[in-house]
Amino acid sequence: MASRKKDNLDSRKLWDEDPNRIPLQKSRKRALVVNTIVLFGFAVIFLRLVDLMVIDHKMLSSRAERQYSRQEKLQSHRGVIWDRKMREMAASVDSSSLYAVPSKISDTRNLARKLAPVIKTTSKQLNMTLVNKKDKDFIWLARKMNVSTVEEVSSVRDGLGLGRKELGFISESSRYYPKRQTAAHVIGFSNIDNKGIAGIELYYNEYLQGRQEKVSYNTDAKGNRLSDELKEGIPGHNIILTIDEGIQYIVERELSDAMQQWNASAAIAVMMNPWTGEILAMANRPTYDPNLANNSRAQDRRNRALTDLYEPGSTLKAMLAASALEEKLYDPSDKFDVSQGYIEVGGKRIRDIHKFDILTFTEVFKRSSNVGSVQIGLKLGAKDYHSYLKKFGFGSKTGIDFPGEVSGIFRDLKRWSGTSLAALSIGQEIGVTPLQILRAYSAIANGGALVKPYLVSDIISADGQVIKSVRPEIERQVISRETARETTEILKTVVEEGGTAMRADIHGNLVAGKTGTAQIFDSKTGQYSKDKFVSSFVGFVPADDPLLALIVVVYEPDGRGYGGVVAAPVFRKIVENTFTYLDVPMERDENQILLVSQ
C-alpha cells in the first residue's frame, strides 16, 4: 500500500517536472484568446454582412445593375418632307454606325492598321484614339456608313477574330434627299445627329426630329445583350410643303439655262399663289446637293430669295403707280412732258435711257420713264410714298416660315435726303429681297390685299393625325380693289408692243408685270457700277384672274443686262411650261385675238 502511494507521488513528480507540460492557468488564457479572436472574427463578418445587406444595399444593388444592365439611347426616325402632291422630298433610311470597346481590344496597332483605310482615317490617328480611350467601354469610330463600307469593316473584324464585344454596329437613322438638288434651298439639310441645320429642316426641326428614347437591357457576364425589344425612338412628324416638285423642276431648269446663257453670277426665281401666299417654287443658282452638303460652299447653300438684298430698280415703279392712283392724283390718261430727257432734283440729274416726248401716266410705266416717274413721285410726296411702301411690306420681314429672312433696307422718313424721294421713285435707295417684291405685286394681283407667304401647309403625325395646318393669312388691305384693277391694266401694257417686257408675252394668256434693270452699288467706291447690273422681271398671269405670281432676278449678266432682255424671257418660259404641266387652258378667244393684233 505504501509502495503504491509512493508510485503515485513519483508519477505526479514526473508530470510536474515534464518540460512540455502546459500549465493549466496558461491553457485557460490561451483558450480565452482563441475564443475571443474567433468571436471577434464572427462579429466582423456579421457587421460586414449588416453593412452589405442593410447600409450599402442600395449602392451595391445599383452597382450590380450597372454591371449586368446597359442603357442605350434610341435614335428616332426623322419625319418625312413631302411636296404638295405627297411626293417625297426628304426621308429617313436606316444605316449602320461603327462603335468600338477600347477596354476589350488588346492589339490596337494591328486593328488600326487594317481598319483605318476602310473608315477613311489614318492608322496613327485611329490607334491614338483607341489607346487614349483604353478605359472606355464605348466610342464611335464611324457614323452612318454605306453598305459597302459596312461589309469591308465586317471583313476586317472577322479576319482579326474580333466580335461584338470589341467592334460592333448600331443601326441609326440617316437623312436622304431623293430629288437631290431640287428644292435644296427650301428643304435644307440635317447633320449626322439628325438635327436640322438649314431650311425647312432647321425651321421645323422641333416637329421633324421626333424624340429619342433610352432603353435598358440586361447582359450576361460577357456583356452580351439578352433582350432586344425596342429598336427606335418616337418618330418625328411629317411635313407637307406648298412647293410643287414639278413646277420647282421647271423653274430650276430655266434658271440654269439663264445662268449659262448670260454667264451670270447668280439667279433667283420665286413663284407664289397671289391669293393665298403659298410658295409654289423657290429656286436659287448656284445650288448644291443636300446629300453632300458638307462638300458645298456656304454661298451656294444660301437662299438668296430671302437673305440677299438688291435695289429693285424699275420694278418698284408699280408701287409708285398704285400709290398715286390710290390718292387719286392722276388718271391713267394724264400726260407728262418728258421731252428734255432728264430731271434735276437736289442737284442730281436723273435721265431716261431712251428719249421720249409726251407720255401718258400709263405710258410712263409702260416705257419705264425715269423722268415721268420722278414727276409722279414729287407730286405724291415723301410722307405718302413712304407710308405706302411700308404698307406694301418694304422694310419688314414677310414672316415666311423659313430661317434667316432679312427685313431689307428702308430708311425712316426722318433720314431721307433731298434726293431720296426722287431716287425711290425709280427704285433706288432701298434694299429689298425678291420675296418682298413678289409679295407686293401679289397684292396688286389679288385686289389689294397683302398676304403672308408660307412654305408648309400641314404637319402630320406618324399615325396620320393633323398636328398643325397653315391657312392663308391677310395682313392688311394696302390699296382698294379699283386701284389694283387700274394698276393691273397699266402693267398689262408693259408686255404689249412698245413696252419694256414684250419678251414676257405668253400666247393665249395676258401677262401683267414690270421689268427692272438696276446698277449694283459698289460699297468700295461709293458709286453705282457702270458694268454690273441686276436684271429682273416680276408679274402675274393670267392678268385678270391670276393663278400665279412670279419673279425672276439675274445677277451680273454679261452686257447691259436689261430686265426685258435677260429676265423677261425666263419668266415666259417658266410660265408656259408650268401652264402645260398644270394643264391650264388659254384665256378667252378675244384675248388671244388681242394678242395677235398687237
CA-based nearest residue to 518, from 504, 499, 532 = 532
Q: Is the four-CA dihedral 394, 399, 400, 406 of positive or negative sign? A: positive
CATH number where 313 lies: 3.40.710.10
Last residue of a domain, one of 241, 263, 281: 241
Residue 536 lies in a domain: yes
Residue 346 lies in a domain: yes
Cβ burial 1-14 (10 Å sphere, 16+ → b, else e): eeeeeeeeeeeeee
Same domain, 529 and 461: yes
Same domain, 204 and 273: no
- Over range 369-393, report the average pLDDT: 96
pLDDT in tens, 311-338: 999 999 999 999 999 999 999 999 999 9
Which three-class secondary structure state does DSSP give residue 149?
Answer: helix
Residue 121 lies in a domain: yes
Residue 513 lies in a domain: yes
Catalytic residues: 314
CA-based nearest residue to 307, from 196, 190, 400 = 400
CATH number where 133 lies: 3.90.1310.10
Per the structure, how many domains does the chain have?
2
Same domain, 340 and 440: yes
* Alpha carbons 437 and 277: distance in angstroms, whole number: 13
pLDDT in tens, 141-196: 777 667 677 777 777 776 667 766 677 776 666 788 999 999 999 999 988 778 89
Give me the percent of the chain exceeding a pLDDT of 70.
80
pLDDT tier at 213, thresholds 50, 70, 90: low
Residue 36 lies in a domain: no
Residue 273 lies in a domain: yes
Give me the percent of the chain exceeding a pLDDT of 90.
57
Residue 23 lies in a domain: no
Same domain, 182 and 269: no
User: Letter for the amino acid at 495?
Assistant: V
* Alpha carbons 526 and 449: distance in angstroms, whole number: 37
pLDDT in tens, 183-210: 999 999 988 778 899 999 999 999 998 7
Same domain, 121 and 88: yes
- Over range 4-17, report the average pLDDT: 51
* Alpha carbons 75 and 181: distance in angstroms, whole number: 27
Q: Give the range of the structural domain holding residue 351, as residue numbers without chain letter.
A: 245-291+303-597
In the block, which residue shows the cell 387652258?
Answer: 585
Same domain, 265 and 200: no
Residue 61 lies in a domain: no
